[in-house]
Chain A
Amino acid sequence: MSPISRRQFITYLVGAAGAVVLSTRVAQAASKAGDVTQSRTDPVPAARKKTPGKPVVDGVETQAVAGAKFGMVIDCGACIGCRRCQYACKTENNTPDTISPAWIEVFGLKNEVDLTGHASMEELRQGATTSYTESPKPGMWYLATQCNHCDNAPCVQVCPTGATYKTEDGYVLMDYKKCVGCRFCVVACPYNARRFNWVPPKLDEKDINPQVPVRPVGVVEKCTFCVHRTRDGKLPRCVEACPVSARHFGNLNDPQSEVSRLLRSTPNFRLLEDLNTEPSIRYITRGRKFTG
């Protein structure tokens, strides 16, 4: 007679496995809580809890941050149009050369257009450039756009397979494995933030960031707010790369976060607000820090 029956043994085994998994999780959570980067912005609230279940797709194992709603503040008064964010994003997110422009697009807009007199979009368009002349140029201002991670996202609404979805912590993400490439979301997005893989991506093996999946041909992709970084308490790559601190990222639900403080203290607006998309990117025109 063995001291324990087979059933008991299995029960113990399962229990032990569970305990190991649990302890690893706890250890991970503890280590994560400790290593929140000491940056100016702390995107994740101090009492950061992970909701169980719902492992996130895209090959990135992250989980929604409970109680958080991430958002970005872009200061078009500070932006000098250098497109460093665009390039940083491109390398961080494995965007191939065939997707052009990459996920971020920076408009250079002429100052001569009298904005207070309600310039028409046509006037703006005529005065606009997305060409990469040396910047900043006198008489130009710059407007950086990317996926707005709308709360009421038209792209999520129209997707016939649910390949794009809104997460509880504010991201609009893509499941590249579900996407059939109908591009309905592309035409539904008023910000033209979505990109399509018209041809198979060509990337050097050494340039690939292993944290971000490489998208196959024929699927739609877009800015993810660097979900693989930001859910772990880091900043999106574009925010890090900005040489003039025109970008700020954080938890809009946390009144102490930098974005919340900025939005409380500064007048702000969102793009195409009348379309009721509720974007998560807000724009301010605070200007440079040291102009005083």
Chain B
Amino acid sequence: MIGYIVIAMVLLPVIVLIGAFVLEKPRNFRVPALLLGSLAAQTAFVFIFLALFGLLLGLLIPQ
């Protein structure tokens, strides 16, 4: 269960800092949207990449 504390310890400050950036003046919609969008796109990319990479390697490994 200690892991949830560890992950919270990592994630919360990052979220707070990104939040500070989003809310800070000069207010801007575009850049925060780009940042969050890129984070989301990268998460999706990492997941899809790992899945496909695994499938590819599965062809090489004797089952």
A interface vs B, CB < 8 Å? 200, 216-218
Contacts and interface: CB of A to CB of B under 8 A. Distances in A.
Interface of B: 61-63
6 contacts: A200-B62, A216-B62, A216-B63, A217-B61, A217-B62, A218-B61
A200 B62 CA distance: 7
A217 B63 CA distance: 7
Contacts of B62: 200, 216-217
Nearest to A201: B62
B50 to A, nearest CB: 11
A217 B62 CA distance: 7
A216 B63 CA distance: 6
The 4 closest A-B pairs by CB, nearest first: A200-B62, A217-B62, A216-B63, A218-B61
A216 B61 CA distance: 10
Contacts of A200: 62
B27 to A, nearest CB: 41
Contacts of A218: 61
Contacts of A216: 62-63
A216 to B, nearest CB: 6
Contacts of B61: 217-218
B47 to A, nearest CB: 15
A218 B54 CA distance: 14
A29 to B, nearest CB: 36
Nearest to B2: A157
A61 B61 CA distance: 28
A202 to B, nearest CB: 11
Nearest to B62: A200
Nearest to A218: B61
A217 B60 CA distance: 12
A216 B58 CA distance: 13
A153 B49 CA distance: 33
A238 to B, nearest CB: 30
